[in-house]
Amino acid sequence: MRTAALRRRKRAGYSIAMVAACPFPGNFGSAASIREMSDTLSDMGHNVHIVTYPTGQEEIRVRRAKVHRTAPFRQERNAKVGPSSEKFLRDFQLLWLLCRVIRREHIDIIHAHNYEGALIGIMAKWLTRRPLLYNAVNLMADELAGYRFIRPAWLAHGLARGLDWFTPIFPNHITAVSPELQTWLIDQGVPAAKVDLVPAGIEPELFDHPEPEKFRQRYQLNGHQVVMYTGVLDAYQRIDYLLRAFAVALREKPDALLLIVSAVVSAAHEKEHRQLAAELGISRSIIWISPHTLKDLPSYLALADVCVVPRPECPGHPIKLLNYMLAGKPIVSFAGGAKGVRHLHDAFVVPNRDCEALGRGIVTLLNDRRLAADLGANARATVLANFDWRHICAKIERIYDRLLEASESTRTQTEIAAPAAPKG
C-alpha cells in the first residue's frame, strides 16, 4: 500500500525544496547548477521550490521552479562568492523560511547545495523530519582559507577540516560531483551506499547562438590568437599558475593574448593578479574583463583558440570545464581539474602545478590546429553524452525514489512499534 502511495506521489511530481544559500539566480558555478537542475526537474514534472537569499541577477530566467526569498528581490550584478559577515543573519532567515516552505508546500525532500545549504538543511531536517539530500560540490579544506574571510589562515584551515568532517554525517544521502570527492567522503567513514556520483551538468542549448564579432572588434583581437580563462578570481582558482603558464607560452607566441573573463568584479584579487603579471612582464598581453552576463558567455568563449583550467587541487567539478567543452574548445588543464576528460582525447592534461608544462600545452594547441580542433570536437561530444542535465536528473529522481521509500519504511516501522493507546 505504501509503494502504491509513493507511485501516486511520483506521478503527481515530488515536492522538492532546493536550498540555495547564495545569490540566485547567478552567473557562477553553484547558482547556475542549482537553476539548471531545478529547471530540468521541473520539466520532468516535479514541483521544485528554490529557497534562497533576496539577491540575484534579474536577467537570468528561472523557467518553472518557484523561488522563495527571505526578503523582497534585490538586483545584485556583482555577487560576492564565499563567506561574509552579512550571510550569517541571512542564513538564520533562510532556515526559518525553509521550514515555512516545507510545511506550507508539503515538501517531500530537502535538497541542499554547498556547505551553507547543507548546514541549513540539516537543521531543517531535525525540525521538520523530512529526508535530506546533500549535493557536495567541494571541500572546505581546499577553499575556505582562499576566501581570506577568516584570519589567521590556520584558524580557517582548522574550521574547514571541522566542516568537512561534520557536514556529511547528518544528510540521509549525499551526491558527489566528482569521483575524487566521492572517494574522499567514503575514506572519511561515510558509508559507500550513502554516496552517489552525480556530476554537474549542462544545458545543450546554452551555446547555440554565439555572437563573437562584437567582442572581437571591441577588444581589437584580429590577428591575435586568444587564450582564455573564465571564472572567478579567488585565490583557490590559482590565477597565479595561469599567469606563469601564459608567460611560458609568450616566449614562443609573443602575439598571443590572454583574456581573463569573470562574471563578478573582484578588485582586490584582480589587483593582486595584475601585480604578478607586471612582475612577469606580460601585462600588455592580458585583457581583464568583468563582469559579464550569462548571455554573453558563449560569445566570449567563441573567441578562444585555447581555454585553460589552472586549478590543480579540485575535488569538485569545474563548471568552467563543462562550458569549455560545450563550446567545443580545445582545453589545457592540470590533472586535478580535468574531470571527465582524457589526455589527447578531449583535453591536453599536464601534471599538477607544472606551470612550464601548462604553458607548453597552450603552445602545442596554438601551433597544432588540427589537434586543437579534434580535442574540441571530442570535448563537445563527451559533454553532450555524459553531462546533459536531462540524464543527470533522471539519476537524481531515482535517488529521490529511494529516499522516500526509506522514509516511508521507517515511518511504518515506527507505527508498528508504537504501543496502542488505551481505550476508555
Whether the pLDDT of residue 146 is over 50: the answer is yes
* Structural domains in the chain, sorted by start: 2-201+388-416 (3.40.50.2000), 204-386 (3.40.50.2000)
Strand partners, 261: 230, 289
pLDDT digit string, tens, across residues 351-410: 999 999 999 999 999 999 999 999 999 999 999 999 999 999 999 999 999 999 987 776
Mean pLDDT confidence for 28-55: 94
At 344, is the pLDDT very low, low, confident or very high (cuts 50, 70, 90)? Answer: very high
Mean pLDDT confidence for 139-155: 60
Residue keyed to cell 577568516: 150
Amino acid at 145: A
Q: What is the pLDDT of residue 126?
A: 97
Q: What is the pLDDT of residue 421?
A: 52
Phi/psi at 350 (5° precision): -125, 160
Q: Find the helix or strand (DSSP H, E) in which 112 lies.
A: strand 109-113
C-alpha span between 65 and 40 (Å, rounded): 9
Per mean pLDDT, which range of 83-97, 171-185, 276-290, 357-371 is the poorest?
83-97
Q: E strands along 14-96, which residues?
A: 15-20, 47-52, 55-56, 66-69, 74-75
Task: At 109, list the grid cell.
Answer: 525532500
